[in-house]
Structures are given as C-alpha cells and as structure tokens.
Structure 1
C-alpha cells in the first residue's frame, strides 16, 4: 500500500548534518540534494535538548529536508516528535525501525532505517506500512546487533573493503522489500569519506539494482554520488534509441544485436529518469 502524493528525494545525494550544529544547516543544504538533520547518533545524549531547539529555530526548506528521529519507544523519540510538531518538517527517518506499527505511530511520512537484526527480518512488514514512503539500511548498527566487529572485509582479507555477506544480504532484502511495496530505497553511507573510488563503486552497484539515492556523511562525497547516479552520454543515447525503437515497433525488436522487450524497455525508461533527475540538480555532460 502506498501513500498518495508521497515525498520523493529531489536528487540522489543525501547528506547527514548533526542537528546540534545549526551553523552547518545551510551549508549542508547548499551542497547536497537533501539534508538529513540528525537527532540520533550524531548528537550526544546531553546535547539533544539543544539539538531540538536548534531544529525549531533554524528552518530549512522542508521539501529538501529529512529529520532522523530516535528509535520508537524511547523518551528521545517522543520528545523528537513533539519538537517536529513546531516545524514544517513532515518527513522523518526513523532510526532502528523494527515493526510496521512503529512506522505508523510517527504519524508522518517515514523512511524506515533498517539497521538491526529484528528490523532486517521484519523488513517486509515495515515496508508495508501505509506511511512508509521509503527504506534505508545501515551496516554498523546491524553488525553491532549481531555481536560482530566489522561490516566490511579488512586489509588482507578476501574482498578487502567490500561488505561482508550478512551486510550484503540486508542491503539486498531492503531493496527487494522496497520494490515489492513500491517504496524508494536509499543506500547506506560509505564511512571512509576519503575513499571516493570505493564510494563510486558502491554507487554504481546501487544504481544497477535500482536504489534511488545514497546517504553520505561528508560534503566531499556529494559529487561522487551525483555523478554515479547520472547516466553517461552513451547510456542516455542507448535509452533514447530503445524508446524510439519501441515507438516504431509494437513488439520485440533489436538494437545493436540486443533483443529489446518489455523489461529492457523499462530499464531504458529508468536510465532517462535518472538523467532528468541529474539535470534537475545541475549536472552536465557525461559522468560514468
């Protein structure tokens, strides 16, 4: 079940900003497509009162702003929602979402952050909630909840730098659940903000399986994400030729020795949709 007129990200680069640092709010908004004002992990517990006050006193464009709230059932969660009622923000990122009911109870358009073992095994129930407009996943809290020590293979290990299999599994089931219930999906942050090559590889894979956006923790990551989501000139040319061919051929046809049918046509449409989105955030030319 989907919400009518649900919010969707206006671009692929979503930048976290600590809510207790209001001097950074506008800078983040100027750099990224969406700002995630964080009342949870980025804010020390003793600073959360000040963070909520800053959230109310320093408004950003609500069409380009999400607020990450604390997990359901906590005092901070209730206080977060009380503060939000004094703002124009109506889209939240619910930390550690673990049930469909916890999403419904926010009373707001909610992106569910699946980052615990229980959330992962209940991802379909979460995605089905009517006010769940999207899903995001997180690796570090997930691994902590497993009693593990790292979400990625380390130096000298097999597939160094890439996610371990349990994290890859949750990334996949989040994407599947989002698609099954017609919600968008946001890929997790790449914590090593200096590793632009690694981020670029993850973005390419996210695009290939239909993620709509990628979250980030540093402004320097924004351009890598934008470039990764925007199709190359060759991809755009291919997609246009596919759509032109479909207009002239009512059935299956061939382009460059590739058979074009319904699924390939939908892939071409997705490529052009990403190109339009890239143009909307000011990107130009080839990117991949």
Structure 2
C-alpha cells in the first residue's frame, strides 16, 4: 500500500456536506473531518453526512476521532457503511492503535508529545501509509501556548517534531504529510513552508481553505527546466552501471533517485487538474 493522492489535501468539516464536492474539485484529495472541525453536538450529523456522500474513494480521506474516545467506535461504524478506505487517525500515540483500523489505509497523525516519540513504531505498522504531524495539538500537549514565533516561524520544538515525524516515515518507506498553515491570507508564508516541504521530501501538505491549494500545488510543481533535466538524467542513466557524469556533474544513485522523485511529482501537479483559487470549502 502506498500514499498516492497528490500534494494538496484539503480539510472539510464533516457536518458541511454541501462543501464536500467543492473541496474535492479544488484539491488533490479531500479530508472529511469528523474530529476537531466538528462540534460535539454535530458529530452524529457529520457521520450521517459521511454515509450519504458519494465521493471518489481514491481521493477521499476520512479523519476520525482518536482510538479510545467516545466517538471512535461510532465513526468506525459510519465509515464501514461507505466505500472510503483511507483514514486519517487523530492523536495516535502507539503503533498498536492502527490495528483498530485493520483493512483501512491509515494516515497517522502524530500531534502530541507521545505521538511524535512513538512515530517510528507507528510508521512500522503495515496498514499505515503515511504520517502527518500537527503543531498546535503538539504544543498544547506540552502545556505551551503557540507553535510559532511572532514573525510566523515555527518554534524549535515544532521544527523538531516535523523533522522527527518525517524521518520516522521515511525510515519505513512511508509518505510524510506536512501540517496546515492556519493563517489563511498568509500565502507568502504558506509558499515558503510548502517549498521547504517539497525540497525536504514531504509527499503532500494539508490545508484548510481552497485559496491555499494553488499555492501548495505551485510549490510542489517542478519547473519545465527541472523536468527536462530530470528526464535527461534518467535517460542518461540507462545502460550505465554506478556513477556517471551528466552535464559536468557526477550523477550517483541518490541524485538519480531525486530525479525520479521529481518526475513522479510532475505527474501529480500538472496544471489545470484543479481550480487553484476559488473559495467556498
């Protein structure tokens, strides 16, 4: 099992079914949220909306409440009445919690101190296809007040968690998903973070508003020159054994794998596959 949905994943509250389809049109995948985006009094309505929805299962993720919570079993029952098979599990703190979702592809949210420290064990579970980290829940679990400095930069504890979760995912050959940027109109800040995410090897970035989708896709989309060079490197590698020289630069296995990764990214970020700027979800 692999994560293969494209780079821009858009959250949509589970109790807003009128926005499900719009969100999916705008982004590479929609995350129907049954957890934090839904008030306790609206949880059942959200589950009913989930069961009534008919979205593309290959581009739909359902975020459920944490294992052991009062809502989890109800979420699981609703999920079983749908065709959706990719589940984002909130506040995962142990690999064994993924077992409760046997039969589903799990995106595990490591968003507490315990979850970040357990990330290597969580990533090792067979049905876990990706790890995502969360900044605000993490800081709250530590008794803090904000994950960012006044200028918008992540505090060191958040940067450490981000790197730890990505390394844990990569060590098991799983995808890493970068967290949301909560300031919706700070598109420059989002672009800087998404650009860093793709350069660092994240597979996707989650977002909370359709206006953020185009920025994320632009960050992940390779330039024409980058694509041409990557194609040329891959072509030049055929028939070679080990290290070779292309355009005056030594090309070894890591550089070749980077070129191949860039070409895979091109496939997911072709212009025109989504609307990049329309609001509404």
Using the size of structure 1 for normalisation, the TM-score is 0.91
From 37, 47, 57, the counterpart of 2:42: 47
What is the aligned length? 273
CA distance in 2, matches of 1:58, 1:253: 52
Q: How does 1:1-288 map to 2 (within 5 A)?
A: 6-107=1-102, 108-154=104-150, 160-247=151-238, 249-279=240-270, 282=273
Match of 1:157 in 2: none
Q: Summarize the Cα distance change of 1:101–1:281 in structure 2 as closer, same or farther, 3 Å threshold.
A: farther
CA distance in 2, matches of 1:233, 1:205: 19
CA distance in 2, matches of 1:54, 1:15: 17
Q: Summarize the Cα distance change of 1:263–1:103 in structure 2 as closer, same or farther, 3 Å threshold.
A: same
Report the 3-state secondary structure (helix = DSSP H, G, I; strand = E; otherwise coil) of the residue aligned with 1:75: coil
Q: Mark the runs of 5 or more structure 2 residues left unpaired by the alignment.
A: 275-281
CA distance in 2, matches of 1:141, 1:129: 23
Report the 3-state secondary structure (helix = DSSP H, G, I; strand = E; otherwise coil) of the residue aligned with 1:279: coil
Q: Cα RMSD (Å) of the superposition?
A: 1.4
Segment of structure 1 superposing worse, 77-86 or 103-112: 103-112
CA distance in 2, matches of 1:7, 1:238: 27
Q: Summarize the Cα distance change of 1:280–1:125 in structure 2 as closer, same or farther, 3 Å threshold.
A: farther
Equivalent pair of 1:9/1:213 in contact (CA under 8 Å): no
Q: CA shift at 1:244, angstroms? A: 2.3
Q: CA shift at 1:248, angstroms? A: 5.4
CA distance in 2, matches of 1:90, 1:279: 25
CA distance in 2, matches of 1:257, 1:192: 43
Equivalent pair of 1:229/1:278 in contact (CA under 8 Å): yes
CA distance in 1, matches of 2:240, 2:98: 45
Q: Mark the runs of 5 or more structure 1 residues left unpaired by the alignment.
A: 1-5, 155-159, 284-288
Of structures 1 and 2, the one scoring higher in RCO (CA 8 A, sep 6+) is 2
Using the size of structure 2 for normalisation, the TM-score is 0.93
| Cα displacement string for residues 186-217 of structure 1 (whole angstroms, at most 9, x for unaligned residues) | 11001111111111111111111111111000
